[in-house]
Chains A and B, each alone.
Chain A
Amino acid sequence: MRPVSELPELPELKDMDRRDFDWYADKLVQVLVFVGGFSAIVFILGIFFFITREGIGFILHSLDIVEFFTSPNWRPTSEQNQTYGALALIAGTASVTGMAMAVAIPFSLGAAIYIGEFAGPKTREALKVLVELLAAIPSVVWGFIGLTLMNSLIIRLFDVPIGLNILNAGLILGLMAAPIMTTIAEDALKAVPDHYREAAEAMGATRWQVTRKVVVPAAKNGLVAAVLLGVGRGFGETMAVLMATGHAINLPTSIFDSVRAITATIAAELGETAVGSEHYGALFTLGIFLFTVTFAINLTADVIVRGWKR
């Protein structure tokens, strides 16, 4: 054992420090990109915070929660007696979304199955591109189509005085929601491993039998999520619904009735209200309601696809 004094000289601590410029750059970037990722959470919380901030005064002081959900009388500009019953608006949104889903669910699932399971590779690519283009048409253009083309078509076909109604907005909304639902549903089908199909085909099953008995059951959760996201989309659509429903407060009894949606009410009335007024707060309260419902729908869809864990 040698005495300590004979040990080779230890390097200075600062010479062992290998943290050069690139090391610091790496750390800096790591922080920066984390800020980017975290911003998504900040924005969602920000949306909730700021719409609540504008709506909280109305909720605490003027909102009659029973009236809000049970009265069809939305009269925010009445001289003597303003009432804020959202039932007719909720019914409007629900009826249009329901009509849209009646169209979009069978068609988008059918299209997803054709594109995913039946079509050859070339056809599949072409159809996917067309579906993507369908999804790209802006909602204000859809609204314009509802206002002009669909309106005159419905008047002529069904002999009704006004063509701006649940049927019109529902069809428009169905066509708008269908491409997104098709894409998500097709992704869900594609996620089913090929050896499932091969095993079934080896047993002599036809393509349709494979699809019905093997692929669709295996992709069930993803298909349900696709439908839910379509519902969320229909629920939140604004411009097309504003232009194609007829925008009349109404508890609908048939698909030829004009209705008014929650989103459309906000879009039509926000410009005419004074900041901080009761009416203004009521519109933000509608916004909080919309936010809560769509958040719940998205969360449910996510849980269905991925489960609680992960």
Chain B
Amino acid sequence: MSESLFAKTALDERNQRVQRFYRRLFLTMTLLLILPVFVILTVLLSRGASVLSLSFLFTNPEQGMTAGGVFPALLGTIFLVTAALVFSVPLGIAAAIYLSEYASDNWLTRLINLAIINLAGVPSIVHALFGVGAFVLFFRFGTSILAASLTLAIMTLPVVIVSTRESLQAVPRAFREAGWSLGATRWQTIRHIVLPNAVSGILTGVILEVSRTAGETAPIMFTGAAFFLPFLPQSVYDQTMALSLHLFVISTQVPGVPEGLPYGVALLLIAVVLVMNSVSIAFRMYLRSRKKW
């Protein structure tokens, strides 16, 4: 009696077959989606690894960018990213503190959130047009590191805001209430209780922003990055080369580039970005594993 009660009916059998089928289908789709990362990395490694060397990193491009290294572009990317961080990190953290700690649930907060979503969703080339119209022309910065990094900063601001807000909100409310009940002001509570508990999460977001900023091309094309410069920038009002634009230029605009060279630049760029991302991910996992609450 009990055996027949719990025995699989034909319907059960069929349901489980269907279930197994979809499980396999979706697993295959997921793997197919992820597979390109490995294909791309393998191709770039096999064709570009021979180009990479210390002298490639630290010498100037030669013979109309068909030979030599990428030193000015690498340095330019570092300048642009650093300058963009100087603008966007304080602003982004302030915005996140406002949204997480002060903002009440009203139409203004909704508008701010909508603006952040749109800031992240506006096409990068529109950010470039904005950079040209606002920083290059209106504020008279010219095509310069300053204009390019401001454009990058505004474009990547949502990354900082969203990740910082998330790590602030991960701090339990009871922590704040303990502070308030001791008579601490809101800012004292944030400064001494909330921020110390969220700082590593914020750092993770900043690393992520670095990787985003380093890879961007369109926003800097007309605001401050140059195809080729024979000298290094002397001030924030100079133009600079950049690694991402350099890859675009040598793979589409310059004739006679040896086959391996663009692969080397692409490999370098993707290495910078993926290393940054992996550090950020590893950091996040480490934090999650030692979380005390």
Contacts and interface: CB of A to CB of B under 8 A. Distances in A.
A59 interface: no
Contact of A208 (B18, B217, B245): B18
Given A41-B112, A134-B34, A145 B40 contact: yes
A138 B269 contact: yes
A156 interface: no
A107 B33 contact: yes
Contact of B33 (A23, A178, A287): A178
Given A140-B244, A295-B118, A40 B95 contact: yes
Interface in B1-55: 15-16, 18-19, 22-23, 25-27, 29-30, 32-34, 36-37, 39-40, 43
Contact of B125 (A26, A127, A147, A236): A236
Nearest to B276: A136
Contacts, number: 275
B64 interface: no
B198 interface: no
B123 A36 contact: no
Do most interface residues of chain A lie in helix, strand or loop, or is the interface mixed?
Answer: helix
Given A43-B154, A136-B273, A284-B129, A267 B98 contact: no
B229 interface: no
B141 interface: no
Given A33-B97, A263-B123, A271-B222, A287 B129 contact: yes
Given A36-B94, A43-B154, A111-B30, A133 B185 contact: no
Given A136-B274, A209-B19, A239-B218, 12 more contacts: A40-B116, A47-B126, A53-B133, A137-B270, A137-B274, A148-B263, A178-B33, A206-B18, A207-B23, A208-B23, A270-B132, A310-B110
Contacts of A239: 124, 217-218, 248
Q: What is the size category of the interface that chain A forms with chain B?
A: 35 or more
Given A44-B115, A236-B123, A141 B269 contact: yes
Interface string B259-277: 0001100100110011001
Interface string B95-130: 111110111010000111011111101111111111
Contact of B32 (A107, A129, A302): A107
Nearest to B91: A36
22 contacts: A22-B188, A23-B185, A32-B94, A35-B94, A50-B138, A51-B130, A114-B29, A138-B273, A139-B215, A140-B248, A141-B215, A144-B248, A148-B251, A149-B39, A206-B16, A208-B22, A236-B124, A270-B129, A275-B137, A283-B129, A290-B126, A298-B117
A257 interface: no
A147 B250 CA distance: 12
A-B pairs with the 10 shortest C-beta distances?
A236-B123, A138-B215, A36-B94, A110-B29, A37-B98, A50-B133, A114-B26, A33-B98, A36-B95, A26-B185
B122 A294 contact: yes
Contacts of B30: 110-111, 114-115, 127
Contacts of B132: 54, 270
A267 B211 contact: no
A47 B244 CA distance: 24
B186 A26 contact: yes
A113 interface: yes
Interface string A277-310: 0000001100100110011011101100000001
A163 to B, nearest CB: 15
Given A40-B112, A141-B270, A270-B222, A26 B33 contact: no
A136 B29 CA distance: 20
A268 to B, nearest CB: 10
B38 to A, nearest CB: 9
Contacts of B91: 36, 39
B112 A140 contact: no
Nearest to A145: B40
B269 A47 contact: no
B275 to A, nearest CB: 10
Nearest to A205: B15
Interface in B240-262: 244-245, 247-248, 251-252, 262
Interface of A: 22-23, 25-26, 29-30, 32-41, 43-44, 46-47, 50-51, 53-54, 106-108, 110-111, 113-115, 118, 125, 127, 129-134, 136-141, 143-145, 147-149, 175, 178-179, 182, 206-209, 211, 229, 232-233, 235-239, 243, 263, 266-267, 270-271, 275, 283-284, 287, 290-291, 294-295, 297-299, 301-302, 310
A108 B19 contact: no
B157 A208 contact: no
A142 B157 CA distance: 23
B57 interface: no
B100 to A, nearest CB: 10
A260 to B, nearest CB: 13
B278 interface: yes
A133 B277 contact: yes
Contact of B27 (A53, A118, A143, A271): A118
A113 B122 CA distance: 28
B19 A207 contact: yes
B134 interface: yes
B118 A298 contact: yes
A45 to B, nearest CB: 8
Given A26-B185, A238-B124, A299-B114, A134 B33 contact: yes
